A and B are shown apart, each in its own frame.
Chain A
């Protein structure tokens, strides 16, 4: 058994097992010393002397052995690992309170310390974990390794695309060479980049979608100034149409501004306590006149109280207003829009959680299967003509999708031809009464 183990260690190199070889060396020296003393004792003192020498050297060997067993680690030649005592309490408190996420990495590969902001982004319980279990971005891992090795401070920009797009600038610097400690600081550029992107997108979208109604209105104005100038019937008819188009443009601009605002804040975690039941009832009440005009009944079915969610109330009201409005628009006349609320236990983004499930069901014609994956696309309509007739802007579901994303939820769409459609929103319930650090998701990798 001895020689097998010796071979194993020979394969993996000496570094880790230096203690073993050191121990072996010491023992061999002890044996040699014992033999010399034994020989000397026998020569000068005879057998009795030899027996005495054996006793003495045994005692020496035992005590040396006990001594060794207690400190194998001291002779190991591993790189020194720092522990949190390298930070003074003041320094630690300062780092903890920095608004930017910060990480201290030990020896190039193990998490020594994560401040509050970093824990919010990455989750709790990451101390002493290997850095790759916490952060996978190749650029960051490379930068950390390089800085640990050369001491050169680095800064790199990187992006995370799912589940929500975020952009960061990361700074690495070596704060201590021995023990090796490297600092990783993140600076969130998301807001800045989003603002740029929003501006560009808004102009592109607005000009594209407004062009058509604007062209129609311009055409009618031309006609009214010219050929139809003295035709009261034509005048009335055209003015009606122009009014409708102007209203359409107004709704479109409102929706675009709405979408822009929501996308701008999509990466900011929601902070309020919201009762979904109250939100749904508010949305239903707001749309009651519209439903009445089509003789559609809105029913809210909530058999048991559902827990509150972390959310932005206004956005959630808008979400349900959009869904209920769609249900009314595409539902059968004299039909029913049914909203049911319940809770469930299911795996969420960070382990099992309680979830609030809200389903909005209409009894219209249904949506063809191949259209369903594209419904949340901006300006996508299954039937353009019908959508225009009912005053749709093509943005309602895109708005819903971005709000759901911000709230760490999911949107499910089911529909069968002739049987209507069900839009289901799943949102994580608020965990307990304390500030939910676990509402933060591992978005940063």
Chain B
């Protein structure tokens, strides 16, 4: 039955390659979808602040569940691929990248949920001028997320590197906002409660930007096999900022 055996081998090899490719594609597609969801959540959370839209904020909180579910699905699919296909080289890097990126996106989703929760609190108080600065910082984070997800879909290491380098802008906006909030609080202690919520929201937005650079590192490694430099220049100096009262 010699000819029949090689016929079987031919048919099966074809099926194996096709099924494997389809699984890798399904993985990439799921990551892109999860990315889209994270983008929508972050965008809605920031809108909830900029437009004082509490209903939108509540939607964000409710939808966080979907983000978590997608992450679990991606992990399960990736584990199947690893266990049964034993991928190598770029396929292996792609599978690992999917797991890592899903993790980062889940964190971004959580940050969006926390921002939304605080937005609900903020919207009960009278509007504060600094909300616009916060919205601009949020837009910058969103732009980073969009750019890095595009880099993933396009398998483009140069765009990933650009995202990685640009995180400094968000850090600078955060520093600026931090100092201004301190000034606000010192001038009028009645605003301390409100300003503290602001600080947490700003910190969350800044953290979201950091997660984007993590995704950029993963994308770069996935495509090239190399690493972006270990030390990324960090612009956030608030951890060591001194607080001085001006007379």
- CB contacts under 8 Å to A, within B158-195, are 158-159, 161-162, 169, 172-173, 175-176, 179-180
Cβ distance B219 to chain A, nearest Cβ, rounded Å: 13
A8 at the interface (CB under 8 A from B): yes
Whether a CB of chain A sits under 8 angstroms from the CB of B90 is: no
Whether B11 and A20, one on each chain, are in contact in the complex, defined by CB atoms closer than 8 angstroms, is yes
**Which residues of A sit under 8 angstroms from B136, Cβ to Cβ?**
377
B15 touches which of A20, A139, A377 (Cβ 8 Å):
A20
Interface residues as binary, A222-258 with B (CB distance below 8 Å gives 1, 0 otherwise): 0000000000000000000000000000000000000
Smallest Cβ distance from B183 to chain A, in angstroms?
A: 10
In the complex, chain A residues whose CB is within 8 Å of the CB of B143: 162-163
> What's the least CB distance linking B31 to chain A, in Å?
9
Distance, CA A74 to CA B18, complexed state (A): 15
Inter-chain contacts of A31 with B (CB < 8 A): 1
- The 0/1 profile, CB within 8 Å of B marked 1, for residues 370-384 of chain A is 111110010000000
Q: Is B126 part of the binding interface, using a Cβ–Cβ cutoff of 8 Å?
A: no
A133:B153 contact, CB within 8 angstroms: yes
**Which residues from chain B contact A65 at a C-beta distance below 8 Å?**
3-4, 7
Q: Does B32 contact A (CB under 8 A)?
A: yes
CB-defined contacts of B28 to chain A, threshold 8 Å: 130, 132-133
Query: In the bound complex, how far is the Cα of B8 from the Cα of A72, in angstroms?
Result: 10
Q: Report the separation of the CA atoms of residues A349 and B7 in the bound assembly, to the nearest whole angstrom.
A: 49
In the complex, the answer to whether A136 meets B32 with C-beta atoms within 8 Å is yes
Report chain A residues within 8 Å CB of B18.
16
Instruction: Tell me, rounded to whole Å, the shortest Cβ–Cβ distance linking B212 to chain A.
Output: 12
Please give, as numbers and ranges, the residues of chain A lying within 8 Å of B19 by CB-CB distance.
12, 16-17
Minimum C-beta distance from A12 to chain B (A): 7
Q: Say yes or no: B149 contacts A62, CB within 8 Å.
A: no
Q: CB-CB < 8 A to B12: which residues of A?
A: 5, 20
Q: Interface size (A, Cβ < 8 Å)?
A: 49
User: Is B4 in contact with A27, judged by CB distance below 8 angstroms?
Assistant: yes
A24 CB contacts on chain B under 8 angstroms: 8
Given the complex, which residues of A lie within 8 Å of B4, measured CB to CB? 27, 61, 65
Give chain A residues whose Cβ lies under 8 Å from the Cβ of B1: 27, 31, 61
Mask, B66-104, CB within 8 Å of A = 1, is 000000000000000000100000000000000000000
In the complex, the chain B residue whose C-beta lies closest to that of A139 is B40
In the complex with contacts A162-B146, A347-B161, A370-B176, A133-B29 CB distance below 8 A: yes
With CB as the reference atom, state the residue of chain A lying closest to B149.
Answer: A136
Taking CB atoms and an 8 Å cut-off, the chain A residues in 131-170 that contact chain B are 132-139, 141, 159, 161-163
Between A and B, 26 residue pairs with Cβ closer than 8 Å are A8-B84, A11-B84, A20-B8, A20-B11, A27-B8, A62-B3, A65-B3, A66-B3, A68-B11, A69-B10, A69-B11, A109-B29, A133-B29, A133-B153, A136-B35, A138-B33, A138-B40, A163-B146, A347-B159, A351-B158, A372-B176, A377-B132, A377-B133, A445-B39, A445-B146, A445-B150
Q: Which B positions have Cβ atoms within 8 angstroms of A?
A: 1, 3-4, 7-8, 10-12, 14-16, 18-19, 25, 28-30, 32-33, 35-37, 39-40, 43, 47, 84, 132-133, 136, 139, 142-143, 146-147, 149-150, 153, 156, 158-159, 161-162, 169, 172-173, 175-176, 179-180
